[in-house]
Amino acid sequence: MASEKDKEPLELPTVEELAAQHGVEAWALAGVRVRERWPIGFRVKEEVFLKAVERFLKGPTDGGSR
């Protein structure tokens, strides 16, 4: 029998749920979704979401990928 810490969550949160949980503003979420090519309702691990938000907010403003 698997222990509690070995159990994976049955369903990952959506990017919208994570944005609300972490106070990510709508304009930033929209930018992250475009940059990552995530559709509305996309489910992702929290760590992946937070890294994507950080990349978006600290990235170049000219559309480059520096």
- Does the residue 2 lie in any domain? no
Domain that holds residue 40: 11-57
Give the pLDDT confidence score for residue 64 in this predicted structure.
64
Strand, coil or helix: what is 43? strand
- Does the residue 21 lie in any domain? yes
Give the pLDDT of the chain (66 residues) as one tens digit per residue. Answer: 455 555 555 799 999 999 999 999 999 999 999 999 999 999 999 999 999 999 999 988 766 665
- Does the residue 6 lie in any domain? no
The domain tally of the chain equals 1
Give the pLDDT confidence score for residue 60 in this predicted structure.
81
- Does the residue 3 lie in any domain? no
Asked whether the beta carbons of 32 and 52 are under 8 A apart, the reply is yes
Asked whether the beta carbons of 35 and 29 are under 8 A apart, the reply is no
Element (H, E) at 49: helix 46-58
Give the pLDDT confidence score for residue 52 in this predicted structure.
97
Give the pLDDT confidence score for residue 45 in this predicted structure.
97
